[in-house]
A and B are shown apart, each in its own frame.
Chain A
Amino acid sequence: MLLADRSFRTLLSREILRFTRIWMQTIVPPLLISLLYLVVFGVALGPRIQEVGGVPYLQYILPGVALMSLITGSHMNSSWSVFDAKRERYIDEVLISPMSDLQIALAYSLGGTLRGLIMGTGVLVVGIPLVGVTVEHPGLLLLIGVLSSFTFASLGTMVGAMANRIDHISFLTNVVVQPLAFLGGVFYSVEMLPGALRMAILFDPIFYMIDAARYATLETSDLSPYPTLGIVLLLAALAFTGAWWAINRGPNLRY
């Protein structure tokens, strides 16, 4: 049976319709916040900070800010979409349709992936001329973007399917993703951290994504980019397995 059959494509297009229909809520505010980061940290505070890794500060933070926006968009999209559908039970229509759980998990996760990519691209489209930078490895950047977005969209699908209350969703955003994104080296290099923190950051998945995105954009990074890409690939596979499992086994999803 073809994975991307009409049923799957319909659910995916519904996911896209959802976030484009409420674009004032899903696309504009997060883009604005990311651009504010660039303005506040880069333009206002940036000149007071030395170059990082031989790169002007504003250029240094751009890939991370774009990636943070991408991650926020992707996980929020699928977590809210799945949670809303579950809370109001219209997910039943999808669950009893001829789609497999794999197709359902993939459609929700790809919907979130796309929203994340739109967010990340939006920041780059405005940020690149503002900062004046040329992307060194655009293909690699796209690959990192897709994998990172897919990872967090899958995580969102998983949490949306597992959540029983709204605060479970906000916990993912406010207590897990946002702190990990801030600590993941958006605004600094790990070289600037003391030893213990430098070790701790290696457990932050977002660190690898930002580091690889920075390499792809500026050719400067804390780690070697290709093993990092492998780690990101592994994270994407793990997160999607979680999403698939949760659509199959999530509490109160099926009775």
Chain B
Amino acid sequence: MNEPVPALKVEKLRKTYSNGLVALDGVSLEVAAGRFFGLLGPNGAGKTSLINSVVSLARPDSGSVEVFGKDAHREFREARRMIGVSPQEINLDKFLTVEEVLLYHAGYYGVEKKKAKERAEELLERFELTGKRKQRVSVLSGGMKRRVLFARALMHDPKLLFLDEPTAGVDVELRYKLWEYIRELNHGGLTILLTTHYLEEAEELCEEIALINDGRIAAQDTSVGLKERYAAQSIEEVYLKVMGHVAGG
């Protein structure tokens, strides 16, 4: 029987920035299709560098990336079409309204107009943005902008969703709503890779967790498996033990 194709397969990925900083030091990672996967680590550990390398926003020095079996470099159109990214920093096109952000995004991904309009309606409603649809994104509050980023990432119906610190600067109410929604998406079959500083968020949501530090995967297992292996009560304790261990050499 054939092995199921993983949603993401990263092999020996290495990325050195022009200032000499080694952001990824031979990272290998596999995320099974349909998995809710957490990537945890301190600032500068390599989380965003890893996501950027997958979507070609960073140029890795070596290594390979496959998205549902498609090479992210050679078959970049197919690979990128399957990926949605909600980035850490808000980066909305200031010339566009909320609705236009969604429709133009769909267009960039080749989604047919009628389908894009239907999808936009659905997401505007889902993220309670219907009343703001004609407003320019530049005048929205931080929380609203975060919702638009989310909706934008989902516009082209990706199969693999990267959520890079999605709840940074988001109030508690919205955070719970987002959790509920992404959980629902995951149950619907969407593979999710989440990076977060909120360890309880990772514990709450993720089936499998990888801890990354200094550009290397320090530990990877299911949430339960990690807690067992490190004799810990929570992922926070696992985190502190792994990072403490790494820091201590």
Q: Residues on A close to B: CB < 8 A? A: 1, 5-7, 9-11, 13-14, 17-18, 21-22, 84-85, 88-90, 92-100, 254-255
Total cross-chain contacts (CB, 8 A) = 79
Contact A98 B107 (CB under 8 A): no
Chain B residue at minimal CB-CB distance from A98: B77
Chain B residue at minimal CB-CB distance from A22: B95
Contact with A along B57-98 (1 / 0, CB 8 A): 111000000000000000011101101010101011111100
In order of increasing CB-CB distance, the 4 nearest A-B pairs are A10-B107, A89-B91, A97-B108, A96-B55
Contact B83 A96 (CB under 8 A): yes
A residues in contact with B198, CB < 8 Å: none
Given contacts A95-B56, A96-B57, A254-B58, contact A90 B109 (CB under 8 A): no
Return 26 A-B CB contacts under 8 Å, by A number. A9-B107, A14-B93, A14-B95, A14-B104, A17-B96, A17-B100, A18-B95, A22-B95, A85-B93, A88-B91, A89-B89, A90-B93, A90-B94, A92-B87, A93-B108, A96-B80, A97-B109, A98-B80, A98-B108, A98-B110, A99-B108, A254-B57, A254-B58, A254-B59, A255-B52, A255-B59
Given known contacts A1-B77, A98-B110, what 20 new A-B pairs fall within 8 Å (CB)? A6-B110, A7-B110, A10-B107, A10-B108, A14-B95, A17-B95, A17-B96, A17-B100, A88-B91, A90-B91, A93-B91, A96-B55, A96-B80, A96-B83, A96-B85, A97-B108, A99-B108, A100-B77, A254-B56, A255-B17
Contact B107 A7 (CB under 8 A): yes
Contact B58 A97 (CB under 8 A): no
- Residues of B contacting A: mostly: loop
Closest Cβ–Cβ distance, residue B123 to chain A (whole Å): 16
B residues in contact with A88, CB < 8 Å: 91, 94
Contact A92 B57 (CB under 8 A): yes
A residues in contact with B80, CB < 8 Å: 96-98
Q: Is B213 an interface residue (CB 8 A)?
A: no
Contact A98 B109 (CB under 8 A): yes
Given contacts A85-B93, A255-B17, contact A94 B52 (CB under 8 A): no
Contact B76 A98 (CB under 8 A): yes
Give A7 to B112 CA distance when docked, in angstroms.
10
Give A93 to B105 CA distance when docked, in angstroms.
8
Chain A residue at minimal CB-CB distance from B162: A96
Contact A95 B110 (CB under 8 A): no
Q: Is B195 an interface residue (CB 8 A)?
A: no
Closest Cβ–Cβ distance, residue A126 to chain B (whole Å): 28
Give A92 to B83 CA distance when docked, in angstroms.
13
A-contacting residues, B194-243, CB 8 Å = none
Q: Is B49 an interface residue (CB 8 A)?
A: yes
Contact A92 B91 (CB under 8 A): yes
Give A98 to B84 CA distance when docked, in angstroms.
11
Contact B109 A7 (CB under 8 A): yes
Closest Cβ–Cβ distance, residue B7 to chain A (whole Å): 17
Closest Cβ–Cβ distance, residue B50 to chain A (whole Å): 12
Closest Cβ–Cβ distance, residue A80 to chain B (whole Å): 11
B residues in contact with A89, CB < 8 Å: 87, 89, 91
Give A17 to B136 CA distance when docked, in angstroms.
13
Give A84 to B96 CA distance when docked, in angstroms.
13
Chain B residue at minimal CB-CB distance from A255: B58
B residues in contact with A90, CB < 8 Å: 91-94
